[in-house]
């Protein structure tokens, strides 16, 4: 079996940690919204995902699941699962906003375009997850 020595650039761990921390900072208010203003979360589920009739207890349950997921993600735990699920969650949010991309200069629709670089950051972090070691509870796989 051939082994290849990989030299990790000196600043890569810090760069990956900053990406992880910034994603957590972006997700935190959206999760808090489910507990502080469940009516808004219900409107988002209906307006963007076509899921009408969601009751508040389900919003709270989704919020709890997201808290646990983002906590794992923030700690660098279960990286394949937590980074993958955060990426899929954000991809769903990004793609569900497709109508806003068709009318970028209407209302606040320009803000929706910020989802694309964040999606790219989520994907990059997922692809480089084995190198995300700074303040991570999981050690690098060999």
Residue carrying structure tokens 């937590």: 82
* Cα distances (angstroms) measured from residue 6 to each of 2, 34, 49, 133: 13, 43, 42, 15
| Burial profile 34-66: b = 16 or more Cβ within 10 angstroms, e = fewer | beeebeebbebbeebeeeeebeeebbeebbeeb
Summarize pLDDT for 1-30 with one digit per residue, the tens.
677 777 889 999 999 999 999 999 999 999
Residues 6+ apart with CB under 8 A from 75: 135, 136, 137
Residue 101 inside a domain? The answer is yes
Residue at 14 is within a domain: no
- On whether residue 67 sits in a domain, the answer given is yes
Q: Output the CA–CA distances (angstroms, integers) from residue 19 to 1, 107, 118, in the order listed.
A: 34, 29, 9
Please check whether residue 7 lies inside any domain of the structure: no
Percentage of residues of the chain with pLDDT beyond 90: 91
Task: Confirm whether 142 is domain-assigned.
Answer: no
Number of domains in the chain: 1
pLDDT of residue 25: 98
Range of the domain at 72: 21-131
pLDDT of residue 63: 98
Residue 6 lies in a domain: no
Report the C-alpha gap between 30 and 115 in whole angstroms: 13
**Which residue numbers in the chain have pLDDT < 70?**
1, 140-142
73 occurs within a structural domain: yes
- pLDDT at residue number 43: 96
Q: Is residue 98 part of a domain?
A: yes
């Amino acid at each position: 079996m051939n082994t290849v020595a990989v030299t990790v650039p000196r600043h890569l761990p810090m760069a990956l940690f900053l990406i992880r921390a910034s994603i957590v900072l972006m997700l935190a208010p959206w999760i808090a919204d489910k507990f502080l203003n469940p009516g808004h979360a219900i409107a988002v589920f209906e307006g963007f995902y076509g899921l009408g009739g969601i009751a508040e207890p389900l919003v709270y349950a989704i919020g709890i699941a997201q808290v646990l997921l983002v906590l794992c993600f923030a700690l660098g735990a279960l990286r394949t699962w937590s980074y993958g699920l955060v990426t899929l969650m954000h991809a769903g949010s990004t793609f569900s906003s497709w109508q806003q991309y068709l009318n970028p200069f209407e209302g606040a629709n320009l803000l929706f375009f910020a989802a694309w670089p964040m999606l790219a950051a989520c994907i990059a972090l997922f692809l480089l997850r084995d190198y995300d070691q700074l303040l991570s509870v999981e050690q690098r796989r060999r």
